[in-house]
Amino acid sequence: MQESATSWDLRSLYPMGALLAFLTISLLLLLLLFMLPAGKILRRTGHNPLWCVLALFPFLNLVALWFFAFKSLAPRQEATRPATAIRPVAACRTEALPT
Classify residue 24: in a domain, yes or no: yes
Q: How far is CA 17 from the centre of its chain?
A: 30
The reply to whether 9 falls in a domain is no
> How many folded domains does the chain comprise?
1
Residue 11 lies in a domain: no
In a domain, 88, yes or no: no
- The 10 Å Cβ neighbour count of residue 47 is 16
- In tens, the pLDDT along 10-25 reads 666 666 777 888 888 9
Q: Answer whether residue 35 is part of any domain.
A: yes
42 within some domain: yes
What's this model's pTM, rounded to 2 decimal places? Answer: 0.49
Residue 37 located in a structural domain: yes
Q: What residue numbers bound the domain in which 27 lies?
A: 16-70
The pLDDT tens digits of the residues spanning 23-44 come to 889 888 988 888 888 889 888 8
